[in-house]
Structure 1
């Protein structure tokens, strides 16, 4: 039986919640080994406290090998709510190795009075919906999702991302490089400066990028909201603080 003080915890990260949870574990549990894994899709990521590994595992089989080699005692999936491939790999690998898995997922956004949201199930559906709406679109679905909108030549797109997006891209496109958190005043100024008619976003939840929704509400702009993929079949909490009692109840893995 591995002592609780000697746990090795793998955080699947890349979110603000993952960085805060890593800091919480490193400071409050100094004898634990806390390793955060980042996908490596951002050139200059914000790094968490503790150990950091960057790059994919090579699918579920690669993750299985890594969990066994590093003698991991628990996995915390604190990835983006739309990181469905990584979450599925974690479920598969943890099921094969017997390593306990907890998903820490922030709640999605809820429409407020005055919001004009159109919920859609996918990026493809978002592109179809936008095709019948205003010409100037603020597209905040991530730089790797722009291909779904590449054929909409009638529209002009404003895209905000941390790094420059790669093709295929919409023909009429302006890119703003920036990283949240964002303010309502800043978002209002951005929407007005570019004469935005419609906002397209994913239901990411959280506070870092929620200001755009407040700004759209104030300006009476419609929002096309892409629904989240289904949550993985595993234990799940919405607050990082709830990971600590869960870890205490799962003191070691079976490998």
Structure 2
């Protein structure tokens, strides 16, 4: 195995699977996590947790660790770290690729309202609704002004500070099967779902359940990203790595 590691900016399920895949292919891998999840899933290879200190900090880390290739496999809405990754790759000249799961697309039976910002989302919610907020805790604050709406806030970990919402209940759980999500939406008497177009399979079950129940979904569109080397799945990224760094494998 080469001493020069591949650095994966991770935190997504795809990032974890990619780390395992590249380790199995004989590469040294460092996965970097933001540290927002208290008990992240076990990862293959080396793991670091916490921020780098902006693009400059990431540039310094790449230089110190003699990183051979940088992979941005962060969440589609994690724009700051993705912007920093682009700057760092351009500055250090290390090969770069982004792994980004394809976005969801509305299917027959879906009742989507597409919005482009949290503020637009807040305004799109009808009065006296019962709304599932399927968002990260850092995106909840704008909804505090909607005292005419009952929110069910679902998170994996409890918030570090009390949520600044007027009428809400907190649900600590992960998305389940379509059947589980259907039961959950029905039991909570929810009338709408608010979520981001994250893509992927794990979070899609609530979208399928909403379609089956005829519930409207307020879907936050992905932010526009600069053109870069972006691939949609683990298979294509692993091929890119082999083509770029094949000589570094054991």
CA distance, structure 1, for counterparts of residue 47 and residue 163 of structure 2: 31
Contact 2:133 2:153 in 1 (8 A): yes
Offset at 1:128? 0.8
Structure 1 segment 8-27 matched on structure 2, within 5 A: 8-27=5-24
Q: Where does residue 159 of structure 1 map in the other structure?
A: 153
Map 1:50-65; keep pairs closer than 5 Å.
Answer: 50-65=45-60
> In angstroms, what is the RMSD of aligned CA positions?
1.5
Shift of 1:45: 1.4
Aligned counterpart, 1:40:
35
Large movers: runs of 4+ above 2 Å: 4-7, 165-169, 248-252
Deviating more after overlay: 163-172 vs 91-100: 163-172
Offset at 1:223? 0.5
2:233 alignment counterpart: 239
Encode CA deviations 1:150-180: one digit per residue, 9 max, x unaligned.
1110011001111123355211111111124
CA distance in 2, matches of 1:220, 1:211: 14
1:213 pairs with 2:210: no
Give, in whole Å, the separation in 2 of the partners of 1:217 and 1:231. Answer: 29
SS across alignment from 2:145? coil
Aligned to 1:141: 135
8 A contact 2:18–2:238 mirrored in 1? no
- Aligned residue for 1:17, secondary structure, equals helix
User: Residues of 2 paired with 1:233 and 1:90: CA distance?
Assistant: 13
Q: Partners of 1:35 and 1:233 in 2: how far apart?
A: 25
- Comparing 196-205 with 160-169, greater Cα deviation is found at 160-169
| Matches of 2:245 and 2:22, distance apart in 1 | 14
CA contact (8 A) 1:120 1:225 kept: yes
Residue aligning to 1:204:
198
